[in-house]
Structure 1
């Protein structure tokens, strides 16, 4: 650990941090361009073979950027995609981005520092940054937007220059330091630890936009919401948003342990995938499976779902289109089982259903989600925490769908549970919401 990182961990003042030099290199979980092609013809694209922990050079900071000393980060499925080099190697994104201008050219490297979640301490600000100072405790939104593009000012996710930070850009959060635009930052909630704060932005923000935001399904009180993967990172936040918004959450999971977890989050009813005939990643007959699923949902709620929260993709999408009610909406943000979907279009057009594409969350939506955290209506879905050195093992857990909720990674934080600045609020929220309060995490040994 370099002197600046040591000072951050020790709680140095802003003035002390300013006077310490930036290191020339820093430790990061990264991919290497030399590994591209190594999985050709390989069935099990084990991400532990391609995620490396080692030293990378520190880039120059652009005028609108901030350098954050990362205390904690998290694993998302885009990290798994990156490390498998599918559907295309992320080095393709970096080369395309690098052609734009001098500053974007820094991202085109033979290494790719991955990770789209982070919480940490600001240690440097670019000359054009106005709202953030060295020493600020922050969380990072994964939406990397171009503020000079007109569409960005209507919705940060609508601009052609919008990228997923740490996936389509370099210098992501699974590292000792990360480089972000100032427009990605929000204050870290004081009642959360570093790893709890880092667990939320990508998954909770995405779920908020899908369900609550005006560009998503616009859930209202009493809506029945079918949530695929209700015990995963996205699903765990979706269940909480449905519960706290007065909706009726119906979760689909793959095991009894995951069913118990989803019930604890607030699912009205939970259905095991195997019970309706979904046992793998390949699509089953959507009408047959959809009828089974529909019967289970109606038996539990009396209605067909108003909304289907979809991110599984190929294995479930046809069922989602079939099972959602007349006039209902399927809102999708991903395809973990494959992105080429098949569905019977008659059930879409003749029953006036809608398919809504949703991606990430803009900064206002992230801020609204963080307000729910502060109010106690939403809690971190963190269930396990790994050290940075074991990032590959953490990603493998997610790759195998052997996790529940979010999997965190401690970067500079020497252990879990640190970084809480508002113990009174934390205790009050835990006491008020014992079932859905701040989640505790399991620290996995190195």
Structure 2
């Protein structure tokens, strides 16, 4: 066991942390370069075959980086992509990055893109955070010397998704991050609650609220696909907080009840509606969806919140109102979309592409959590040794909201530093998804 990690767990002071030696190795979950291809011909690409837990080498710290002792992490769908080596193996990214930073080009990939923890070392160029600070991590890594960062960090040359397109990510006892990834941890949240939010919540913030996305306004009707998923569960909250009218699409009555408890009045349970023989892949299904939306709210959506892709994109393009916007950040059901372009151009609709978020958007989203305006949607937590099971739960969609992983934290509900704020914001709201 690491002396440094033990000191963090004990609440050591910054001076005490600096007195501890940084270990040369640490425990982490990772994939292996030599296992690319193990799923060839497989009908079930079970990530439990490709995710391993063991010791890895501690890398050197660059001047603009911090070493963080990870208390908890969370699973995102890019964790599934990493573990099935698709759409391309992440070792391609590590090899490419390794040409300018050889530390990342390893035969293993410590992955994971959401984490909370404690800063234990800083490089000489880190100015705004120090050893001992409790933090959450933005997974957006950008080129700070690219002029486009002054316009929008997402537009910079080759932005990197931390823990997906580089190494030493969230699923380890320690992680390496750039200074511009650090954000203060919300004091009223536990380690696992704080770790669960940034990637999905900030992505949803940019899509809906930020000036680079759909730019939602007061009173807008917003159709949210997968409303109890990682992205959708935060989208519903953002629409409500910004004065919009969410229409949540879910796949079961249990999920419908959960989103109602979030305050969403209008819910479409796909399992209870007959979309026709060809479902949402056919205009008959699109029309049926549009009818159901109008039955609930009396009008068509101003915005459609899209990340499912192939399965739903034709319907999304159809149901958006004249002049409406379809904002998309992904394609979990397939990248090649089909839609009837007549409904787009003749009704002056817009498709808005949105990828990740910039540091300012991540900070704004984190501020909303710190103010108690947004709540975690963490539903289940696994130990580091069961990381493969945690990723499998997301792979098979047998979860709601977010799935967490305890790493440095020895039990759930640790790390709460402001219980008074927690009581004021509402324990039931904070733990809503964990009550299922």
Change (3 A) 1:412 1:428: same
User: In 2, Cα distance between the equivalents of 1:442 and 1:259?
Assistant: 15
What is the RMSD of the two structures over their aligned residues, measured on CA atoms? 1.7
- Counterpart position of 1:27: 27
SS of aligned partner of 2:426: helix
Aligned partners of 1:283 and 1:315 also within 8 Å: no
1:387 aligns with 2:380: no
Q: How many residues align?
A: 436
User: In 2, Cα distance between the equivalents of 1:441 and 1:285?
Assistant: 34
- Counterpart position of 2:159: 162
Aligned partners of 1:385 and 1:441 also within 8 Å: no
Aligned partners of 1:211 and 1:219 also within 8 Å: yes
- Deviations along 1:238-275, one digit per CA (max 9) or x if unpaired, are 00001111111111111111111111112222112234
User: In 2, Cα distance between the equivalents of 1:73 and 1:315?
Assistant: 30
1:133 aligns with 2:126: no
Please list every run of at least 4 consecutive aligned residues from structure 1 whose deviation after the TM superposition is greater than 6 angstroms. none
Aligned partners of 1:286 and 1:343 also within 8 Å: no
Gaps of 5+ in 2: none
1:374 is displaced (CA, Å) by 2.2
TM-score by length of 1: 0.95
Gaps of 5+ in 1: none
Instruction: Kindly report which structure 2 residues correspond to 1:3-402, keeping only aligned pairs within 5 A, or say none.
Output: 3-99=3-99, 101=100, 104-276=101-273, 284-402=280-398
User: In 1, Cα distance between the equivalents of 2:394 and 2:146?
Assistant: 35
User: In 2, Cα distance between the equivalents of 1:279 and 1:188?
Assistant: 47
User: In 2, Cα distance between the equivalents of 1:263 and 1:52?
Assistant: 38
SS of aligned partner of 1:157: helix
Change (3 A) 1:136 1:326: same
User: In 2, Cα distance between the equivalents of 1:440 and 1:356?
Assistant: 30
- Deviations along 1:78-129, one digit per CA (max 9) or x if unpaired, are 1011111111111111111111x2xx22111110111000000001101111
- Deviations along 1:408-444, one digit per CA (max 9) or x if unpaired, are 111110011111111111111117xx5x34546379x
1:293 is displaced (CA, Å) by 0.6
TM-score by length of 2: 0.97
Aligned partners of 2:207 and 2:354 also within 8 Å: yes
User: In 2, Cα distance between the equivalents of 1:223 and 1:75?
Assistant: 31
User: In 2, Cα distance between the equivalents of 1:226 and 1:417?
Assistant: 34
Aligned partners of 2:91 and 2:105 also within 8 Å: yes
SS of aligned partner of 1:376: coil
SS of aligned partner of 2:93: helix
1:295 is displaced (CA, Å) by 0.5
- Deviations along 1:330-381, one digit per CA (max 9) or x if unpaired, are 1111111111111111111111111111111111111111221122221011
- Deviations along 1:373-393, one digit per CA (max 9) or x if unpaired, are 122221011111111111111
- Deviations along 1:48-90, one digit per CA (max 9) or x if unpaired, are 1111111110000000000000000000001011111111111
